[in-house]
Amino acid sequence: MGRFGSARIFTAIIAMLVLAIVAAMLGSTGSAAWLVAIGGIIVILFATGETGSAQRALPETTPAIPNDTEALLEAMAEPVLIVADGRISSANSAARALLGSHIVGEDARLAFRHPAAAERLASGTPDPSEAIDLVGIGGRESRWEMRIGTLTGNRRVIRLIDRTGSYATERMRVDFVANASHELRTPLAAILGFVETLSDDKAGDDPATRKRFLKVVHDEAHRMQRLVDDLMSLSRIEAEKYRIPDAAVDLTKLIGEVHGVLRDNGGDRGKDIVVEIAEDVSFISGDRAQLSQLVHNLVGNAMKYGRHGTPVTVRLDRGTGSMMRLSVTDEGEGIAPEHLPRLTERFYRVDSSRSRALGGTGLGLAIVKHIVERHRGRLDIASKLGVGTTVTILLPPAPIPLSSKSHISVTERD
């Protein structure tokens, strides 16, 4: 009831008292009774009607406050849940996608099925700064970090942070150190062993034995040098991965130079290289030294793993859109489908013994992948057992107009 409504009621009461006094002065007559009755009705209607109108005219002073909890949860990209009395009362879409839509209303311990999480939820005042590591939620290799905070009304808020990526990165770092140590230790052990043998008077005095052992030492030392060179190249490429190269590189000329080097130094296999370059290709934005290393690695791999006497075809043309497409195809044994996703991992080999025998370090395609990523390109590897393998690279063109291009079409084979 408003202030004006109270004033009108007070006025109505005074008016009734006045009517009562007038009725008393008139005495016990019918006119007096009618006067009091009619006046009372009028006063009551006046007071209640006006008061109701005043109440309806006044705006609500305390509007209802909307519940924004659900909207707040949905605005969070990470899985977030609210637990009340041990049960999940709310969960955003990320949490439902991870744990299932049935978790709302379920016991929180059943949703996570993790002893440490259940113990923390049961504790009186969980510390939000203390994290719980969860393994296997949403996938066998997934890693999540759980943090629990306290809300009013004996409620808990649970936040899940995806740590799968950082865990995989750490695992790759550990594997890389272990693999690099193993790759360096193997040739080093061979070198030390043969040097120790050569230091023996009997073995050292035999020219044939000495020559054979020295050749092994030489080959293993060169293998270590190649490995160290590849590791340093990979380190430099990764250090520059966020700096986009902006020099205009003529891939036509670069491929011709690489072809000349491999043709002269690749023995009989160098004559199997076939280069096909379209007329409408353009320069690309790139790092010339890294692109030269990319082409060397791809053509070198095709020469090593393709069958002797079969062509190694290098093509350069326009791909989808404005991208330049470089492809290298060999006719070898091919690669099984299960190996294809892992070919660009460091030190991954389909056949370790064969790769080492051919002088591979296990880093060639890893270097290619990082060079392509730095140039904001795309890498695709397709292979068929018994037929061969094709590696395709898509690279963006340089943003400068070019008036003319050279055309190269080389086919050199025995």
Residues 6+ apart with CB under 8 A from 336: 350, 385
Mean pLDDT within 288-317: 93
Residue 396 region, left (φ>0) first, then alpha (ψ -120 to 50), else beta?
beta
Question: If we measure between CA atoms, which residue out of 348, 369, 259 comes closest to residue 303?
Answer: 259
215 and 85 in one domain? Answer: no
157 and 31 in one domain? Answer: no
Q: What is the pLDDT of residues 155-207, one digit of tens each?
A: 888 889 888 888 777 777 777 777 778 778 888 888 888 888 888 777 667 78
Please calculate the CA angle 121-124-130 and round it to the nearest 5 degrees: 60
- DSSP β-bridge partners for residue 274: 313, 411
Band (47; pLDDT cuts 50, 70, 90): low
250 and 216 in one domain? Answer: no
DSSP 403: S
Q: Does residue 357 surpass a pLDDT of 70? A: no
Residue 156, domain extent: 69-162
Q: Sheet of 388-395: strands edge to edge?
A: 378-384, 388-395, 324-330, 312-318, 273-277, 409-411
191 and 156 in one domain? Answer: no
Instruction: Give the separation between CA 349 and CA 246, rounded to whole angstroms.
Output: 33
Classify burial at 95, counting beta carbons within 10 Å of its beta carbon; exposed 0-12, middle 13-18, buried 19 or more: buried
Mean pLDDT within 243-252: 90
> Is residue 64 in a domain?
no
The type of residue at 137 is I
254 and 189 in one domain? Answer: no
338 and 266 in one domain? Answer: yes
Range from 11-20, 56-65, 175-184 that averages highest in pLDDT: 175-184
Instruction: Give the separation between CA 222 and CA 232, rounded to whole angstroms.
Output: 15
Residues 6+ apart with CB under 8 A from 54: 2, 4, 5, 8
> Which helix H or strand E contains 199, and what residues bound it?
none
Q: What percent of the chain has pLDDT over 90?
A: 23
Identify the pLDDT of residue 387: 92
Number of domains in the chain: 4
80 and 145 in one domain? Answer: yes
77 and 35 in one domain? Answer: no
Among 119-128, 183-192, 213-222, which is the least confidently predicted range? Answer: 119-128
Mean pLDDT within 276-304: 92
Instruction: Give the separation between CA 216 and CA 201, rounded to whole angstroms.
Output: 19
> Is residue 360 in a domain?
yes
249 and 371 in one domain? Answer: yes
Mean pLDDT within 231-260: 90
Mean pLDDT within 355-384: 86
Alpha carbon 257 to its chain centroid, in Å, reads: 37
SS3 142: coil
Identify the pLDDT of residue 37: 52
Give the chain's radius of gyration (CA, Å). 42
Backbone φ and ψ for 74, nearest 5 degrees, come out as: -65, -25
Band (7; pLDDT cuts 50, 70, 90): low
Band (31; pLDDT cuts 50, 70, 90): low
DSSP 204: H
Q: Are strands 312-318 and 273-277 parallel, antiparallel or unpaired?
A: parallel
Mean pLDDT within 74-101: 88
Identify the pLDDT of residue 146: 87
> Is residue 62 in a domain?
no
Question: If we measure between CA atoms, which residue out of 183, 210, 236 comes closest to residue 359?
Answer: 183
Q: What percent of the chain has pLDDT over 70?
A: 77
Q: Which residue has the higher pLDDT, 299 or 346?
A: 299
Q: Which residue has the higher pLDDT, 105 or 13?
A: 105
Instruction: Give the separation between CA 391 and CA 202, rounded to whole angstroms.
Output: 51
Identify the pLDDT of residue 43: 53
Identify the pLDDT of residue 65: 39
